[in-house]
Amino acid sequence: MNTKVTTLSNGLRVASCSMPSSQTVAVGLWCGVGSRYEPARIGGASHFLEHLLFKGTRKRTARQISEEIEGVGGDLNAFTAEERTCYHAAASQDHFSRIAEVLSDMYCHSLLDPAEVERERGVIGEEIEMVRDEPCQHAHELLSGEMWKGHPLGRPITGSKKTLAAITRKDLIGHLRSHYHAGRTIFTAAGAVDHDDAVELAGRFLGKLHNGSSLPRQTVPPSCSSPRILIDPRESQQTQLVLSFRGVGAADPRRFAVNLLHVIFGGNMSSRLFQELRERRGLCYSINSSFSTYSDCGSFEISLGLDGANVCKALKLILGECRKLVEKGPSRTELRRACDYSIGTSRMALERAATQNYRLGVSLLSYGRIVPPEDVYKRLANVPISKVQAVAGQTFQNRRLSLVMVGPGPSREEIQSIIQSMR
């Protein structure tokens, strides 16, 4: 792999990863803004804007945007997160210029037509309701609200029905002009791509994008001083249980130990949680852990779906496994397996152009540079048992726990009693 980065005269960064065996190219246009940077009044503006950039430009209708990429067998999509927004497409290598031009046209020349604004407001309203009707997604959205209560990270990326109704076309134009400038934009390309070609295309299509100011520094969310519990006792066939502990940020050196802790604890079918709650006890179909890292903070989550009558038993087992890792740490065999798993799954994923494209954008936005995968692998391989045990102790603190239950199950008092008894 040959990774290069160039900064254009207007401040826009261009990153590429050449993959000689690839016959496709994946392209991304990244903006370093997301829901975390929105005023509360217009929560969801970044996501709203993401939708609207697909709805027509000065030279293309919404249908023409889709047809130009899908008409050559390509994929076109986008996503909004807490600290970034990305528009991405992929197709065979001979359509590199087409992909770059269409994405750039969307990014720089979208009309934000008033009729489309109102039409898409309705679409996003349905998206909000869809999440609310899907217990697992709804549980995770509620969990973020509890974990980061009172902070922008706790707001839904889509916004609420109230903020969605309040956002005006003027707000969206202002949001675009404030954030969609060269200084916060990254053009990435991976696969069958030459870096000089990527730089030339970025300069041709994005070279006139104006520069602008950097984002204001955001406050770090305060830590919980006691467990937070939220219950939505809706009628359902299965109860969703999600737990979250305060984690580490993207630049925290402990993140490598957290990665291995995640794999050991609930990252795959060999993990402690899967083996104990599914294989040995038969309490659930699936259970897993995950971790999220933002620029200055993060979270460590556990999620599962099960019969509401088994929630107390499952919670005791989960917190019991937390305590075991804090008190004894992992075995040498567990640590080696977790390291091999993390490195192996990463190497397999990075054989895909789309994953390499994602790596380029996230790395530049998170660290201001491209971090070589082999550097990450070396850091993972050098994490000792003591570091994993230490980060387990720092993470699995009941006072830093947020818990959400969606569906029938025990009372708040019963859950609180279990948490207190497992200290």
What distance in Å separates the CA atoms of residue 124 and residue 207, rounded to the nearest whole number?
Answer: 32
> Which residues are registered as beta bridge partners of 3?
17
DSSP state at residue 169:
H
Residues 6+ positions from 59 with CB-CB distance below 8 Å = 105, 109
Cβ neighbour number for residue 220 with a 10 Å cutoff: 13
DSSP state at residue 86:
E
Instruction: Say which residue the tokens 């994946």 belong to.
Output: 26
**Any catalytic annotation for residue 126?**
no
What distance in Å separates the CA atoms of residue 35 and residue 248, rounded to the nearest whole number?
Answer: 19
Q: Residue 283 has which token pair?
A: 């309490």
- What are the CA-CA distances from residue 129 to residues 124, 134, 230 (Å)? 9, 9, 19
Q: Do the Cβ atoms of 2 and 17 come closer than 8 Å? A: yes
H or E stretch at 337: helix 332-349
What distance in Å separates the CA atoms of residue 139 and residue 142, rounded to the nearest whole number?
Answer: 5
What distance in Å separates the CA atoms of residue 344 and residue 303, rounded to the nearest whole number?
Answer: 24
In whole angstroms, how large is the CA radius of gyration of the chain?
23
Residues belonging to the chain = 423
Among 158, 17, 147, which Cα is nearest to 81's? 158
Q: Which one of the listed residues 38, 50, 83, 334 is annotated catalytic?
A: 50
Cβ neighbour number for residue 285 with a 10 Å cutoff: 10
Cβ neighbour number for residue 392 with a 10 Å cutoff: 25
Q: Residue 221 has which token pair?
A: 């969310």
Enumerate the H helices of 134-225 as residue ranges: 135-147, 161-166, 169-179, 195-206
H or E stretch at 242: strand 239-247
User: Would you please indicate which residues are annotated as catalytic (active-site) residues?
Assistant: 50
